[in-house]
Amino acid sequence: MIRLTHGMVLAAGLGTRMRPLTETVPKPLLALRGRSLLDHALDRLEENGVRDVVVNAHHLAPQVVAACGARKSPRCTVLVEDVLLETGGGVRNALPHLGDAPFAVVNGDAYWLDGPTPALARLAAAFDPERMDALLLMVRAATVDGEVGLGDFLLDPVGHLRWPEEREVAPYLYAGVQIVHPRLLDGTEPFHQTGGRFGMKGPWTRAIEAERLYGLVHDGAWFHLSTPPDLQRAEEALDKGLVKLF
């Protein structure tokens, strides 16, 4: 169990699948239920005790800077990436601002409804720094409305995650919310020295090999927001009260 004080929102992506909406607005600033996805993420972090948040920005970065500047809390440090560093590179670039303890990382397009206990609180309660380098929030692919492909991960009874083998269907999707220990990014210096561009798959794979990547299944609702129709379906489901908890 840990106490979360720091977090990061990944808000630098291009949002290509959400075009044409993202031609003029960065994906994290698209609205759902009258608030931007970025505000929803920052609200969740603040509600769970996180007071210092790093937000990275690249595509239409001035809009992200302005949105963060309009908030009184949590305290936001915006890191503008002249070159898109991708997810892993973005987190590694933010490490000097995130402290030495485990911290939360939320994708800028992640939107979820909590179950009986807030998802971030459940992750913090389950995180064991002695055994884990990262703990990912997972959703059952069968419950998701939208195209999910073959899934992301398999989860064993102890909570270890692994990648699917060739032609193997993975029953779980990554929900875009995780707790990360800074050591997850150990060994990524070569990426940093060559421009800093890398995703989370490399660090996650090393953690899988060391049996230090874990998953926790979400007990609320989660929305797959990849395309404009996804966003519209989510808005309609929420407005009409059609969402059920799993």
12-15 long-range contacts, Cβ below 8 Å, gap at least 24?
A: 12/56, 12/57, 12/58, 12/59, 12/61, 12/81, 12/84, 12/85, 12/90, 12/108, 13/58, 13/59, 13/84, 13/108, 13/109, 14/58, 14/59, 14/84, 15/59, 15/109
Residue type at 129 in one-letter notation: P
C-alpha span between 38 and 27 (Å, rounded): 9
Number of domains in the chain: 1
- Report the DSSP beta bridge partners of residue 150: none
How far apart are alpha carbons 110 and 40 in whole angstroms? 9
One-letter amino acid for residue 5 of the chain:
T
Which band of pLDDT confidence, cut at 50, 70 and 90, is reported for residue 190? low
Q: Is residue 246 part of a domain?
A: no
The answer to the question of residue 244 being in a domain is: no
Q: Enter the DSSP assignment of 113.
A: E
Judged by DSSP in three states, 227 sits in coil
Residue 222's nearest CA partner among 107, 126, 128 is 107
The answer to whether residue 56 scores a pLDDT higher than 60 is: yes
Give mean pLDDT, residues 80-90. 93
CATH number (domain holding residue 83): 3.90.550.10
In a domain, 58, yes or no: yes
Q: What pLDDT is stored for residue 194 in this prediction?
A: 56
- Distant-in-sequence, close-in-space partners of 70: CB < 8 Å, separation ≥ 6: none
Residue 41 lies in a domain: yes
pLDDT at residue 240 tops 60: yes
128 located within any domain = yes
Residue 50 lies in a domain: yes
pLDDT digits (tens, 9 = 90+) for 1-31: 899 999 999 999 998 888 998 999 999 999 9
- Sign of the C-alpha dihedral, residues 142, 146, 147, 152? negative
* pLDDT surpasses 60 at 192: no
Return the pLDDT at 149. 64
- Which helix (H) or strand (E) segment is 185 a member of? none
Instruction: Identify whether 20 is preceded by a cis peptide bond (ω within 30 of 0).
Output: yes
In a domain, 245, yes or no: no
In a domain, 111, yes or no: yes
User: For residue 74, is the peptide bond before it cis, meaning its omega torsion is within 30 degrees of 0?
Assistant: yes
Residue 87's pLDDT is 94
Q: Which domain holds residue 177?
A: 6-239
pLDDT at 62: 96
Mean pLDDT, rounded, for 193-219: 90
Distance CA 106, CA 110 (A): 7
Positive/negative CA dihedral, 55, 58, 62, 67: negative
